[in-house]
Amino acid sequence: MYNVRVRDRVMIAHSFQGEVFGPAQRLHGATYVVDVSFERPELDPDGIVVDIGRAHAVLAESLQKIAFRNLDEMPEFAGVNTTTEFMARWIWQQIAEAVRDGRLGPHAGGLTGLAVELAESDVAWAGYRAPLG
pLDDT score, position 75: 98
Using CA atoms, how far apart are residues 109 and 104, in angstroms rounded to an integer?
9
3-state helix, strand, coil split of the chain in percent (to 5) is 35, 30, 35
pLDDT score, position 17: 96
CA distances (Å), origin 14, targets 9, 17, 93: 16, 10, 20
DSSP E strand stretches across the chain:
2-14, 28-40, 69-70, 113-119, 125-131
Kindly report, residue by residue over 43-93, the tens digit of the pLDDT.
999 999 999 999 999 999 999 999 999 999 999 999 999 999 999 999 999
pLDDT score, position 10: 98
CA distances (Å), origin 21, targets 26, 28, 83: 9, 12, 10
Residue 94 one-letter amino acid: Q
**Taking the domain 2-131, which CATH number applies?**
3.30.479.10
pLDDT score, position 31: 97
Tell me what percent of the residues of the chain surpass a pLDDT of 90: 99
Kindly report, residue by residue over 88-121, the tens digit of the pLDDT.
999 999 999 999 999 999 999 999 999 999 999 9
Residue 133: is its pLDDT beyond 90?
no
Q: Find out whether 77 and 15 touch, Cβ atoms under 8 Å.
A: no
